[in-house]
Structure 1
Amino acid sequence: MELDRRLLLAHCTAHTLLVVAGLLVVVPLALNGSAFKGRCALFSTGYWMTENRSELTGQSGDVSHLVVQQWGPPAACQFATFVGIFTVLYGAAQGWRCLFYLHGRHDDTLMSSFLTVLLSLCVLFLSGGASFTLSLGLASWCDTVTDGNARPFSCAQSQSIPLYLDVDTSSFYTDLTLAQASLWFVTALWLAQSVLSFLRLYHSHSQHISGPCLPREKELLLARSPSEGCPTPPHLSSTIFV
């Protein structure tokens, strides 16, 4: 198996994993957005209050409930969703191209390989930024929910505890942690994608440099007859007829 075919197979595998990982980012974030009625939980601020609110439970007595002062910026959730959607679309398109190249036994041009490297590096930085944003935003929301770890439950346990908000909080931790882990996996895949793209660029450049005329020039240096279809270089021509 030649080197370019091995690289194409590795690229096909990376693209397939990108599609799966991207879906594991988009779907949980979409479910969380639907449960939170379009609000973003990332970087939300609030506090716990204890008061007698019989309308919350239907029974008299003191009730501790979470008060959200300000929901997080929608761009924090949209950024991660955008990276996930782009990853799915790009992985599907490039995966199809890799299969086409494997079947046709050819590869990208030198310019196309160079553009692929640039695009992979750009999306790698975007994916890394989205991963940090999602991780920091989830940590901020968990700090609000647990009241700075002052509550007798963890952030994971809080999704099974009534927070008395006007949104569904029964699965927020599961959705956001799954999206967080998947997004970091997407970032790792984009790093692998960048390395593979660079290797394919290097391989294409090597093939471009070592064109079909180099073996014939070696024959000329050995005083053999040049093959047809490849012009004799001026410096070699003068050497032969001296």
Structure 2
Amino acid sequence: MELDRRLLLAHCAAHTLSVLAGLLVVIPLALNGSAFKGRCALFSQGFWRTENLTLNNEESKEVTHLVIQQWGPPAACQFATFVGVFTVLYGAAQGWRSLFYLHRRHDDTLFSAFLTLLLSLCVLFLSGGASVTLTLGLVSWCNTVTDQNTRPYSCAESQAIPLYLDVETSSFYTELTCAQISLWCVTVLWLTHSILSFLRLYHSHSQHISGPCLPREKERLLGQPRSDSPPHPHGHSNSPQSPSAFI
């Protein structure tokens, strides 16, 4: 198996993994957004308050509940969702393209390989920024839910604790943690794409440079004259004349 086919197979496998990882980012964030009625939990600010509440038409009782002062900016959740959606679409398109190249037994042109590398590097920085944003946003939300870790339960356990909000909070930690881990996997895969794109660019450049020189080198080693060499001006050969020509 030649080098370009090995790189194509590796790139195709990386694109397949990117589709799966991107789906594991988009689906949990979509479920969380639906449970929170379109609000973003990342970087939300709130505090705990104890007061008398009437629950299910019963008599009022004193409960401690979470009060949200300000929900997180929607762009924090939308940024991570955008990276996940783009990864899924790009991975599906490029995976099919790699399979097509394997079937046709050819690779990208030099310019196309350069554009692929440039795009991979750009999305690598975007996915890294989205991963950091999602991680910090989840930490901020967990600090709010656990009251700066002073509550008698962890952030994961707070899913089972009634927060008395007007949103569904029974699975927020599972969904956001799944999206966080998957988004970091997407970032690693974009790093892999960048490395493989560089190797394919280097291979295409090597083939482009060595391709025109290979026939000339073969002719030089075999001692054959080049087919495009001009004929002698007077039609005479360069070999010395035989002695019989002077008799």
**Structure 2 unmatched runs, 5+:** 231-237, 240-247
CA separation of 1:57 and 1:12: change in aligned 2, threshold 3 A = farther
For the 8 Å contact 1:120–1:190, the answer to whether it is kept is: yes
Matches within 5 A, 1:51-130: 51-55=51-55, 58-130=58-130
Stretch of structure 1 that moved more, 58-67 or 114-123: 58-67
Secondary structure at the aligned position of 1:153 is classed as coil
> How many residue pairs end up in the alignment?
232
* Segments ≥4 residues shifted beyond 6 Å: none
Q: CA deviation at 1:186?
A: 0.1
Match of 1:172 in 2: 172
Shift in Å, 1:217? 3.5
Change in CA separation of 1:18 and 1:92 when aligned onto 2, cut-off 3 Å: same
Sort the Cα spacing of 1:221 and 1:102 in 2 relative to 1 into closer, same or farther, 3 A: closer
What displacement does 1:191 show? 0.2
Report the AA paired with residue 195 of structure 1: I
What is the CA-CA distance between 1:54 and the residue it aligns to? Answer: 2.3
TM-score (norm 1): 0.92
Identity over the aligned pairs, expressed in percent?
Answer: 78
Partner of 1:237: none
Letter in 2 for 1:98: S
Instruction: Give the drift of 1:214.
Output: 2.6
Q: Which range moves more in the overlay, 55-64 or 42-51?
A: 55-64
State the one-letter code of the partner of 2:72: G
Change (3 A) 1:72 1:22: same
- How big is the shift at 1:55? 3.5
Structure 1 distance, partners of 2:193, 2:210, is 26
Task: Please tell me whether the aligned partners of residues 41 and 141 of structure 1 are also in contact (alpha carbons under 8 angstroms).
Answer: yes
Following TM superposition, by how much is the alpha carbon of 1:215 offset from its aligned partner in structure 2, in angstroms?
3.5
Correspondence for 1:238: none
Q: Secondary structure at the match of 1:55?
A: coil
1:11-90 equivalences in 2 (<5 Å): 11-55=11-55, 58-90=58-90
- Compute the displacement of 1:64 (Å): 0.4
Task: Compute the RMSD of aligned alpha carbons.
Answer: 1.8
Cα distance, 1:222 vs. partner? 5.9
Q: Distance in 2 between matches of 1:232 and 1:153?
A: 86
What is aligned with 1:151?
151
Instruction: Quote the offset at 1:56 in angstroms.
Output: 6.6
> Which digits, 9 at most, give the CA deviation of each residue in 1:72-127, with x for residues without a partner?
00000000000000000000000000000000000000000000000000000000
Structure with bigger gyration radius: 2
- The CA deviation at 1:211 is 1.0
Q: Report the 3-state secondary structure (helix = DSSP H, G, I; strand = E; otherwise coil) of the residue aligned with 2:23.
A: helix
Structure 1 residue ranges without an equivalent (≥5): 234-240
2:140 alignment partner in structure 1: 140
* Code of the aligned partner of 1:8: L
How many angstroms apart in 1 are the aligned matches of 2:224 and 2:34?
A: 75
Give the conservation status (yes or no) of the 8 Å contact 1:56–1:164: no
Q: Which residue of structure 2 lines up, in the alignment, with residue 197 of structure 1?
A: 197
Paired letter, 2:173: Y
The CA distance in 2 between the partners of 1:109 and 1:99, in whole Å, is 16
Deviation at 1:59, TM superposition (A): 4.1
State TM-score, norm by structure 2. Answer: 0.90
SS of the residue 1:155 aligns to: coil
Contact 1:124 1:187 in 2 (8 A): yes
